[in-house]
Amino acid sequence: MVAVAAVIVAGSGPTGMMLAAELTLAGVDAVMVERRASPELVGSRAGGFHSRTIEILDQRGIADRFLAEGQRVQAAFFGNTKLDVSDFPTRHPYTLGLWQNHIERILAGWIEELGVPVQRGLVVAGFGQDHSGVDVQLADGGLMHAQYLVGADGGRSTVRKAAGIEFPGWDATRSSLIAEVEVTGETPLGARIDEVGIHGLHLMEDGRTTRVIVTEKELGPATEPTLADLAKALTEIYDTDFGVHHPSWISRFTDATRQAAAYRSGRVLLAGDAAHIHAPSGGQGIGLGIQDAVNLGWKLAQVVKGTAPDSLLDTYHAERHPAGALALKHTMAQSLMQRADPRIGALADTVAGLLTIDEARKQVAGLITGLDVHYDLGEGHPLLGRRMPDLDVLTANGPLRVFTFLHQARAVLLNLGTPGSIELGPWADRVQLVDATYDGEWELPVIGPVGAPAAVLIRPDGYVAWTGDGAQPGLQEALASWFGPAR
């Protein structure tokens, strides 16, 4: 038996890569185990991400890598209603259109720079855990050992099943096929909606391949689809299969919605699709997984290093499970309203009318973009439990953005009062202290303008854990709660 790392991350999709990077930045050895032999993702299932996900990448200093290749669009939708988010108080008031194969390639380049090891061609078959760690069994008979195991291995997660974690929710009512193929017939490019569902044909970057999405007239089986399945579904919708051939890949997805009853079982945790699956309506999939990863990463790192107690990991479920449940609820509503049934159409028109009301638009758009996430950290300033705005502050080193302080995934105590008026004491080696000034307005998405705090404690994931003034009431309690007891 070989002790390979402090943490084994099963799955090297966006969630797994983001988590492994977070752990590595925090100085914890993490190894990724991936069933795919090649790092190249075949296909382009997801098509980008929303504002909060871009902010998270910006917090780590890598957003520009994605922005350089993607397309910035106003593409936040609720059902078929487009929501303008250009007035949201963020540096990224837009959706970034970028296919998942490019997203994964860019993330893979980043984790390679960080030195994250990826062991490919390995399939997790099960595990056993005790007070000392987790023994992971591989399908080829191999064994691996770590202090913790994180399942980021998708909706059919082996880790979740082996942990005995229930996956309650709602069964699929319809299915769609998605593929990249070559065609011989002329195709009507673009999207269409009918009584069956949503369909679309889009020419890919190479000018040769067509990306196809077609809703099946009947719920498809839980098996890998074939080219014949795709041809049949296209013919039923378009009266032709366009001569589809040479598929790069074909996959089936449904509107099934499920969420793990627990995101943790002892030394085993779940993130991304292993913890929740939903219809792709609203385009929140990758974003939810990345938010899971940045919430869990710094907490798990502190527990592994012995800085914080094991109980800190319980806050991962306490924070991310409600956030995920709310997002899943809204994807179900969106999926329903993307049908052309006259009764549902009447409902969709009514909702579209309501969303012209500014406050309603901001409320729904805040959820879709992830900018409204609010962790319950108690009563106090409106910032408490919400993401920290990326302010332009003035420091002794000149003007800097707040997100700059988060590039290394370290917590920040931002003192906006008298320089030197706040001390970190025994937490000085765990939290950065930054003296700065800021004279601008404070505005939060959905909430609007808020009062300016004199000091803010920002967690590594960018969420505010404490606000106060020079008197520092509650600061030591917050530091001890999130970053371990004083030593």
List the chain pLDDT tens, one digit each, 487 residues: 465 789 999 999 999 999 999 999 999 999 999 998 877 765 656 778 999 999 999 999 999 999 999 999 877 888 778 889 999 999 999 999 998 889 999 999 999 999 999 999 999 999 999 998 999 999 998 999 999 999 999 999 999 999 999 999 999 988 999 999 999 978 888 888 888 888 989 998 788 899 999 999 999 998 889 999 999 999 999 999 999 999 989 999 888 999 999 999 999 999 999 999 998 876 778 999 999 999 999 999 999 999 999 999 999 999 999 999 999 998 888 877 777 677 888 888 898 899 899 999 999 999 999 999 999 999 889 999 999 999 999 999 999 999 999 999 999 999 998 888 898 999 999 999 999 999 999 999 999 999 999 999 999 999 999 999 756 679 999 999 999 998 7
Question: Which structural domain range is residue 197 located in?
Answer: 175-254
Domain assignment of residue 429, yes or no: yes
Number of structural domains, the chain?
Answer: 3
Task: Report which of 161, 420, 390 is spatially closest to residue 268, judged by C-alpha positions.
Answer: 161
Question: Do 14 and 123 sit in the same domain of this protein?
Answer: yes
392: closest CA among 379, 402, 381? Answer: 402
250 lies in the same domain as 141: no
Residue 376: inside a domain: no
Whether 386 is covered by a domain: the verdict is no
CB 181 within 8 A of CB 244: yes
- Counted residue by residue, the chain has a size of 487
Within-domain flag for 346: yes
- The pTM for the full model equals 0.93
387 within a domain of the structure (yes/no) = no
Do 219 and 133 reside in the same domain of the chain? no
Strands 30-34 and 118-120: parallel
CATH number at residue 311: 3.50.50.60
Instruction: Copy the structure tokens of residue 448.
Output: 């609007």
Q: How large is the C-alpha radius of gyration of the chain?
A: 23
Together in a domain, 146 and 28: yes
* CA-to-CA separations, 177 to 36, 256, 355, in angstroms, rounded: 22, 14, 30
